[in-house]
Amino acid sequence: MNPKGENFSNALSFCFENLFEKFGEEEKIVIYCLVCARKPLTIAEIHFLLPALTDQDAEIALSALHNSSIVLREKTEGNSLEYSLSDSASRFLNDKSPPTDVFFRNIQLKLRELRTIYTKESKKEAIYDYNPYFVRVESNRDGMIAANYLRSALNFLKSGDIGNARLAAHEARKLTQNSSEVWRICGLIEAQAQELYKALSCFEHAITLAPLSRITIYCYGMFLFSDMDDFEGALEQFETLERVDPSASPALTAKAMCLTRLGRLAEAAVIHEELLKSIGERERRWRLTGFDQAVETYRRLFVLDCDQKEYILAKSHAKRSLAILMDAVKRSDCDFKMVKKLAKVVITVLSKSEINIDSQYVESIIDVTEEICKFGNGILLTLDHGTDWLPKNTPGFEGYQARLMDLTFKNKNQIMLEEKKTSSALRLPDLKSQDREFGKIHNITEIGHYGFIVSSNGDRYFTHLTFMRDQAEWSLCVPGVPVSFCIGQNEKGPCAVDVCLMVQSD
C-alpha cells in the first residue's frame, strides 16, 4: 500500500482514532508533547516540559505508549532513555489531529528555556574547585536539568527556606537517582537543617556513588569535622582527598585543621609552613582561612611547650604566630576574625610568668603587636578593659600594661560608643555580595547585643541585634543555631548582616 495514498491515510486514521479513544489524558498529553518537540526526549526533559504531570503518571503513560508501539525507546550514549513518536504516529497527528496552537507555543517556550539551560551549563566551570555551593553538572541532558533544580535548591537554602530546598533537591534526585552531586547537595541541605542522621546518610551515599569526587570527599570531611566533631573520621576523608588531589591547598588546610584538633600540632605546623609558601596564589577566602589556622596551630604549640616546660621552644612558637599575623596584615588579609585572633594570641603568649622574666621576649612581643596594629590601619586589640594582660610580676609591668592599653579601647564608655557607631554603620551596609552565606551562631553577648557567626567555611563574622532580618529572633540566637546571612562591610571589616535563622520545615 502506498504510504502517501488515500487508502493508507484512511487506514492509519482509523487505527489511531481507535487507539486514541483508549488512551487517557496523560497519554495524550505525552504524545502531543513529543510531536511538538519534534525530536527525541529523555524522561527528565518530558518532566520539565510537562510540570503538571506527576512522575508516576508520566512513567505509566510512556510505558503504555511504548507497549502500543506509538512511542519508540532508545538508549543514549550516557545510558539515559530517549522517547520519540513512531513515523506513523507523527504522520497521523500532523494530518488528522495536530496539537492546538496554545499547547504548541507553551511547549516551544519550555524548549527555549531548556536550550538556555543547556547553553549556560555548557559554559560554566567550577572556578573554585572546593566551593561547596557550586553545582557540578553532569555532561548529559538529564544532568543539566537536574543541575537547574539543584541550583534552585541552593537558592532556597540561602533564603532560609529548607522546605522548598528539599523539594527542589527531591526533583533533581528523581531525575538522576545515581548522581553523587545530587546526594551531596541533599547532604548540605540536611546539615544546614541540623538533621544530622539524614545528612550523614546523604553524604555517605554520595561517596559510594563517586568515591573519588574531590568536592564530595571535602564536603563529607567538613561535615564530620564541623557538625559531628568526628575529627578522626574527618582526617580520614582529608587524607583520602590528599591522595586524590595532592596539591590542593583546601584539602591540605583541612587536614592540618584536623591534626590541630587532634593535638598532632607538629604535623599540622609542617603542613601550614608548606602552604604559607604559596599562600599569595590562593583566593582570598582561602588565604584568610590559611593564615588563621596557621596562627592557631602555633598558639596551641606555645601552650603545649609551656606545659612541658620547653620555654625556649615556646618563645619561638609565640613569635612565629605573630609573624604569620604580620604577614596577613601586610597582605591586607585581615578581617574581624583575624583581629580577634591577634588578641587571643597576645593574651596567650604574655600569660606565662615563667617566660615573662625575659624582658627582651616581652618587649619583642609587644613591639610586633604594635606593628601589626599600625599596618592594620590602626586596628584595636579586642581586650577587656581593666584586665591585666600579663602577670604583675613581669619586669616593667606598668609600662608594658600601658602600651597594651593604648592598643585597646580606653574605657567602657568608649566601648559603648564604638558599638553604637558600628551598629549604625552596619545597619544598611555596603554588601560585598548579594549571595547568602551559611553558618552557625558561635556565641552571643547580651551586654551590647552582639555576637559572632561561624560560616560553613570556618570564617567568623561579627553580628549585632540590629543586623537581624527579624529582631524578634534575637532571643533564639544561641550557640549552634544555623543561620544564613549576607556579608557586609563597615570601617572594621566584613561582618554578618541580614541574618536570619534557618527555617526548619518538613
Q: Residue 199 sits in a domain of what CATH number?
A: 1.25.40.10
Tell me, what's the pLDDT at 421?
A: 45
Q: Are 173 and 182 within 8 A, CB to CB?
A: yes
In a domain, 416, yes or no: no
**How confident is the model over 31-80, as pLDDT tens digits?**
888 888 888 888 778 878 888 877 778 788 888 888 887 888 887 665 66
User: Per-residue pLDDT averaged across 83-98, rounded?
Assistant: 80
Q: What is the pLDDT of residue 280?
A: 84
Q: Residue type at 347?
A: I
Of 247 and 504, the structure prediction assigns the larger pLDDT to 247
Range of the domain at 181: 130-257
In a domain, 104, yes or no: yes
Number of domains the chain contains? 4
| 497, β-bridge pairs | 486
10: exposed, middle or buried (C-beta count within 10 Å: 0-12, 13-18, 19+)? Answer: exposed
Which of 200, 226, 257 is the last residue before a domain boundary? Answer: 257
Residue 483 has pLDDT above 70, yes or no: yes
pLDDT of residue 419: 44
Per-residue pLDDT at 411 exceeds 50: no
Q: Could you tell me if 62 and 190 lie in one domain? A: no
Burial 223-258 (b: 16+ CB within 10 A, else e): bbbbbeebbebbbbbbebbbeebeebbbbbbbbbbb
Same domain? 301 vs 320: yes
| Domain presence at residue 506 | no
| 270 confidence band (pLDDT: 50, 70, 90) | very high
Could you list the beta-strand ranges (E) of 64-114: 71-75, 81-85
Residues 300 and 341 in one domain: yes
- CATH code of the domain covering residue 496: 2.40.50.140
Report the distance separating Cα 285 and Cα 17, nearest Å. Answer: 65
Same domain, 149 and 245: yes
97 within a domain of the structure (yes/no) = yes
- Amino acid 455: pLDDT: 84
Report the percent of the chain where pLDDT is more than 70: 82
Name the residue with higher pLDDT: 124 or 441: 441
66 part of a folded domain? yes
List Cα–Cα distances, 5 to 1, 8, 9, 33, 438, in angstroms.
8, 5, 6, 27, 67
Q: What is the pLDDT of residue 207?
A: 95
Most confident of 1-10, 198-207, 445-454, 466-475: 198-207
Paired strand residues for 496: 487
Say yes or no to pLDDT of 240 above 80.
Answer: yes
Same domain, yes or no, for 101 and 135? no
pLDDT at 126: 42
Last residue of a domain, one of 76, 95, 120: 120
Res 16 pLDDT > 60: yes
Model confidence band, residue 425 (pLDDT cutoffs 50, 70, 90): very low
User: What does each C-alpha distance from 185 to 129, 199, 200, 247, 469 come to in angstroms?
Assistant: 15, 9, 12, 25, 26
Average pLDDT over residues 221-249: 91
- Same domain? 449 vs 313: no
Residue 20 banded pLDDT, cuts 50, 70, 90: low
DSSP run (H or E) holding 501: strand 493-501
Q: Are 463 and 485 in contact (CB under 8 A)?
A: yes
pLDDT at 256: 93
What is residue 418's predicted lDDT score, i.e. its pLDDT?
44
Residues 252 and 143 reside in one and the same domain: yes
Do residue 165 and residue 286 come from a single domain?
no
Angle, CA 183 vertex, CA 179 and CA 189 arms, to 5°: 145
Query: Does some domain include residue 415?
Result: no
- Which of 257, 276, 295 represents a domain boundary (last residue)? 257
How far apart are alpha carbons 360 and 341 in whole angstroms? 23
pLDDT tens readout for residues 368-381: 988 888 776 656 66
pLDDT band at 426 (very low <50, low <70, confident <90, very high): very low
Cell of 124: 560554566
Q: Is residue 116 part of a domain?
A: yes
Give me the half-sphere count of Cα atoms (radius 13 Å) on the Cβ side of residue 66.
Answer: 14
Let me know whether 154 and 214 are in one domain.
yes
| CA–CA dist 163, 144 (Å, integer) | 23
Mean pLDDT of the chain: 80
Q: Is the pLDDT at 122 greater than 60, yes or no?
A: no
The reply to whether 1 falls in a domain is no
Q: What is the mean pLDDT of residues 96-122?
A: 78
Q: Are residues 286 and 359 in the same domain?
A: yes
Q: State yes or no: pLDDT of 410 exceeds 50.
A: no
288-324 confidence digits (pLDDT tens): 888 999 999 999 999 999 999 999 999 999 999 999 9
Does residue 427 carry a pLDDT above 70? no
Residues 113 and 172 in one domain: no
Do 397 and 271 belong together in one domain? yes
pTM over 0.75: no
User: Per-residue pLDDT tens for 168-179?
Assistant: 999 888 878 888
